[in-house]
Chain A
Amino acid sequence: MDNESMGFNFNSLTVHALQEQLQSGATTSVEAVTSLLAAIAERDGELKAYVTLDAEDALAQAAEADRRRADGEDAPLLGIPLAIKDVLNVTGQPCTCGSHILQGYIAPYDATAIAKLRQAGAVFVGRTNMDEFAMGGTTENSSLQVTHNPHDLDRVPGGSSGGSAAAVGGGIAVAALGSDTGGSIRQPASFCGCVGLKPTYGRISRYGLTAFASSLDQIGPMTHDVRDAALLLGAMAGVDPMDSSSVDCPVPDYTAALSGDLKGMTLGLPQEYFVKGVDPEVESAVRAAVARCRELGAEIREVSLPHTEYAIATYYVIATAEASANLARFDGVRYGRRAEGATDPIDMYGKTRAQGFGPEVKRRIILGTYVLSGGYHDAYYLTAQKVRTLIRRDFEQAFEECDALLSPVTPTPAYKIGEKVNDPLQMYLGDMFTATANLAGICGLSVPCGTTAAGLPVGLQIMGPAFGEEQILRVGHAYEQAEAGS
């Protein structure tokens, strides 16, 4: 993997390193973007991480950033190229959500997170592949293309933010945005060997993020290191009048929390996350990371999250229920693809949605429609809401004695392409360690913690309480620095 071009090594080039080079005048945004485009041209043929790439537009944005810098401006992300998951609205760009049904749709507005990054000077280079409407854990559910894992091209990059993870992990993005509803940032980050942060629900505005499950979705950064995750989080966080679920909680300087040690911190190991079924190589990599944290001064304590076993059932009831309503708007009436030859509106809906949605999306819409329907609503949806409360309480109790929790991100490393396509239930179980953070509304970070004998990355999950991003970034950063130094 040689992605060096004009002196840039995109395998490891971080936002903060590029920031320094741009500030010192060692390089320009146009130079960085030009060489990044060259790296993409070289590598993306086999990774297939990007679905839309407008080189001309990217270079124009970079030139504008350079001009702003020449005028004396120094916005925090001025000239930094970012890859954006194709689920976020960026004015003038397509936003397919990995679906045929949004064919031809051009976003007329910026998501709030995008507007903030734009304000901070970021350059939006291209759009990355994803499972259709963020439903899946392999990016194989994309209607556009199959993305490959940069560490083993026969394997999936994870999902649903698989394009962003493959781009960062494969050295063809400096940093990227993903979205996480049940693990869609953390799981692909762990499969592709990059850092992925799912912030607390309400930390970053969801306005402009095409909704999968509104009470679970969060936007988050996917980066080469923890400092970058902190930087991007800081740029996007904050209350937004356009998103009533965003929370008015002060936004700290997250990079200030990166102290490098863990002295005085208590880290919990949820026993339900270290169980049979976890791949031994994954478990030993995570255990080694735990040991490293202890060396760094943390007190390690076993804790219990007793309702963990109900998380997957709960998650799939709530997420599909919300999705069944959220995806109802894709009907061919106002935008996107419309089926030909319909005889009346209902026929048009039927044909448009039958042709436009892929099998996994249909499966989840049907499931979600079922759990909300008359006679079943109480047994499924209401019960799931009650269990969700219990899961949230499990975490609240654990965080009374711990600053953060450590666990594997996923039970296994990346699967072979096609391995689980026909076994959705098995695939859903892959979310068991990540979906809980979404149900509880807390934050979670995935940090690389070594590789298997076959060279597949393994991720360490660090979960923190609501608005406890500083704690988990501190843990992730200290661990990452210690590993880099060893």
Chain B
Amino acid sequence: MSWIATIGLETHVQLRTESKMFCACSTGFGAPPNTHVCPVCLGYPGAMPVMNRRAVELTVRSGLMLGCEIPLYSKFDRKSYFYPDMPKNYQISQFDQPLCEGGGVDIALEGQPPRRIALTRIHLEEDVGKSMHFRQSSGVDFNRAGVPLMEIVSDPDMHTPAEAMAYLVALKQILLYAEVGDCNLEKGNMRCDVNISVARDDATELGTKAEIKNMNTFRGAFHALEYEIARQIETLEGGGRIVQETRRWDPDTQMTYSMRTKEDAHDYRYFPEPDLMPVELTEAQIDRWRAGLPELPAARRERMVEEYGIPPYDAAVLAADKRVGDYFEAVARQSGNAKASSNWIMTEMLRLLGEQELEISEVRVTVEALAGLIGLVDHGTLNSNSAKDVFAELFANGGDPQAIVAAKGLTQVSDTGAIEGLVQAAIDANPQSVEDFRNGKTKAAKFLVGQVMRVSKGKANPQMVGEMIERMLS
């Protein structure tokens, strides 16, 4: 008999709104401590929350992208617990009537049939402040307090760390497509907690679960799950018991540590938030939001294969990031050469972005510039080696490819007369290669082409040179 693990994830995503969930303060990141605050988000006496309608819309939009049911009536509740980063010592959240119910995320692991990970719900709540510890004292920065957070809760529907990873990657991709948040784990605007238990594979009930917090990367979540599954199996095989508890992942030691057990778990004492009215949506409103949804990543991959005739692998790479996909489609349309567009982006562009840790949105190569560059190659104005130089220049400094070609004097020499002279000179200077070629060594022709290219400083059209050598020697 072997063990089976059961994994559920709770993912918090900061929504992309201008103002906080219940007040007009900015959600901007990186401001000096306690500068984006007001009586409402500081929990001053008498201050009251007012709902951010945009946050409701973004949550519902996420739910629609993830195939959730959107109830017409939902409400907010108070979740009580004391912590210094929590201004009111209760968090406004949603308990039993969330904005979205059900839904799922499709994952496909290599060598396994695709499957859908079921979602339980998505609800909306407010973020807390950030505790800061100094040598002699501690402080709290409340800039983040009240920032809208969406919590996506999966069913306990995954069984391996790889499935959990695939779920997170697919979820993040869909949310980025929905343009509801930045989903940047390092900046803390996407966070996840996992619930994990193990049981014998013939058991009818789930084992006792542990909740793990503090994973700041998808990889961290993966390793934390691997560690925790092994720890739980080892404990059970050693005759021990798993206690229901919350554990913290330590990325330095790559281990989990107990934070608190069920006995000291909070009793949140949920009750309906009397300061807010329930959220009442209409079918018409939901339909309007549904009509404004972007394409899902999976649908886009299929369409890109169909529409641009690119391989499924290319489509998957290009559609992985919505903005890269958008960029590709714009370049492909403008240049009329989808294959070249895909090649440039998949090889040069993504390589340089990776090396320089840049996002596509920060790139200096405009759609017009890359389409123009592809046009120059297609029209034979530029050979592929020179084109790479031009691309590097565009990536570094931006600009217009035509102007760069002119400035660097890179225009390909396709003038038959000029090339003929160079070819004749190469033939005259390399009698051995001519001899070899005539004896059937085709490689010798390539050497001669190389010589012509060297002498022309790369400007000769290599295809023309090759053809001319063959003609002149045969």
For B71-110 the 0/1 string (1 means CB < 8 A from A) is 0000000101011100111100000000000000000000
Please give the distance in Å from B388's CB to the nearest CB on chain A.
58
Q: Interface residues of B: mostly helix, strand, loop or mixed?
A: loop
CB distance from B348 to the nearest CB of A (A): 52
Q: Which residues of B contact A210 (CB under 8 A)?
A: 45-46
Contact A329 B89, beta carbon cutoff 8 Å: yes
User: For residue B277, which residues in chain A have a CB less than 8 angstroms away from its CB?
Assistant: 244-245
CA distance A243 to B277 in the complex (A): 10
Using A244-B275, A328-B82, A329-B88 as known contacts, say yes or no to A108 and B48 having CB atoms under 8 A apart: no
CB <8 Å contact, A333 and B140: yes
CB of A406 closer than 8 Å to a CB of B: no
Interface string of A232-274 (1 = CB under 8 A from B): 0000000001111100000000000000000000000000000
- Interface residue A405 (Cβ < 8 Å from any Cβ of B): no
Give the residue name and chain of the A residue nearest to B39 (CB). A109
Q: How far is the CB of A236 from chain B (nearest CB, A)?
A: 15
A92 CB → nearest B CB, Å: 14
Known contacts: A244-B51, A325-B80. The answer to whether A369 contacts B89 by CB under 8 A is no
Taking A244-B276, A325-B88, A345-B83 as known contacts, 16 extra A-B pairs with beta carbons closer than 8 A to each other, sorted by chain A number, are A105-B45, A109-B47, A111-B46, A206-B46, A207-B46, A207-B48, A242-B48, A243-B48, A244-B50, A244-B275, A245-B277, A325-B78, A328-B90, A329-B88, A334-B44, A372-B270
CB-defined contacts of A465 to chain B, threshold 8 Å: none
Query: B271 an interface residue at 8 Å Cβ cutoff?
Result: yes
Interface stretch among A19-27, A373-381, A410-418, A430-438? A373-381
| Min CB gap A412→B, angstroms | 31
Interface size on B, residues (CB 8 A): 31
Task: Check: B274 CB closer than 8 A to any chain A CB.
Answer: yes
CB-defined interface of B249-279 with A at 8 Å, one 1/0 digit per residue?
Answer: 0000000000000000001011100111100
Q: Which of B137-185 contact A (CB under 8 A)?
A: 138, 140, 142
Task: Report B343 CB to chain A, min CB distance, Å.
Answer: 55
Q: Is the CB of A373 within 8 A of B46?
A: no
Q: Which of A95-109 contact B (CB under 8 A)?
A: 95, 97, 102, 105, 107-109
Task: Say yes or no: B88 contacts A88, CB within 8 Å.
Answer: no
Do A325 and B271 touch across chains, with their CB atoms under 8 A apart? yes
**A333 vs B142: C-alpha distance when bound (angstroms):** 12
Give bound CA distance, A111 to B45, whole Å. Answer: 10
Q: Which residue from B46, B50, B138 sits with its C-beta under 8 Å from A89?
A: B46
Across-interface contacts of A111 in B (CB, < 8 A): 46
Give every chain B residue within 8 A of A207 (Cβ-Cβ). 46-48
3 residue pairs, one from A and one from B, having the closest CB atoms: A328-B89, A372-B269, A214-B274
Contact with A along B35-78 (1 / 0, CB 8 A): 00001001111111111000000000000000000000000001
Q: A214-B274, A381-B271 given as contacts; is B50 within 8 A of A241 (CB)?
A: yes
Q: Chain A residues in contact with chain B, CB under 8 A?
A: 88-89, 95, 97, 102, 105, 107-109, 111, 206-211, 213-215, 241-245, 321-322, 324-325, 328-331, 333-335, 345-346, 349, 369, 372-374, 377, 381
Complex contacts, A89 vs chain B, CB 8 Å: 44-46
Task: Tell me which residues across on chain B come within 8 A of A321, comparing CB atoms.
Answer: 271
Distance of B435 from chain A, by nearest CB (Å):
89
A109–B45 CA distance with the chains assembled, in angstroms: 10
Write out the residue numbers on chain A whose beta carbons fall within 8 Å of the beta carbon of B48: 206-207, 242-244
B290-307 Cβ-contact flags toward A at 8 Å (1 or 0): 000000000000000000
- Residues of the B chain whose Cβ atoms lie less than 8 Å from the Cβ of A335: 44
B89–A331 touching, CB < 8 Å: yes
Asked whether, in the complex, the Cβ of B82 is within 8 Å of the Cβ of A331, the reply is yes
Q: How far is the CA of A251 from the CA of B292 in the complex (A)?
A: 40
C-alpha spacing A109/B48, complex, angstroms: 12
Pairwise interchain contact B39-A245, C-beta atoms closer than 8 A: no
Which of B49, B90, B269 is A373 in contact with, Cβ under 8 Å?
B269
Q: Which residue of A lies closest to B268 (CB)?
A: A374
What are the residues of chain A within 8 A of B269 when measuring CB–CB?
324-325, 369, 372-374, 377
State the CA gap A107–B39 with chains docked (Å): 9
* Minimum C-beta distance from B311 to chain A (A): 54
Closest residue of chain A to B45 (Cβ to Cβ) is A210
Tell me the bound Cα distance from A126 to B234 in angstroms.
69
CA distance A346 to B50 in the complex (A): 29
Asked if B46 contacts A209 (CB within 8 A), the reply is yes
Nearest residue, chain A, Cβ from B23 = A242
Per the bound structure, the CA–CA distance linking A381 and B138 in Å amounts to 37
A333 touches B84 (CB 8 A): yes
Shortest Cβ gap from B304 to chain A (Å) = 45
Q: A333-B140, A345-B84, A349-B82 are in contact. Are A95 and B267 (CB under 8 A)?
A: no
Q: Is the CB of A334 within 8 A of B46?
A: no
Docked-complex contact B43 and A244, CB < 8 angstroms: no
Structural contact, B275 and A245, CB atoms closer than 8 A: yes
Partner of A329, one of B43, B83, B274: B43
Check A373–B267 contact: CB distance below 8 A. Answer: yes
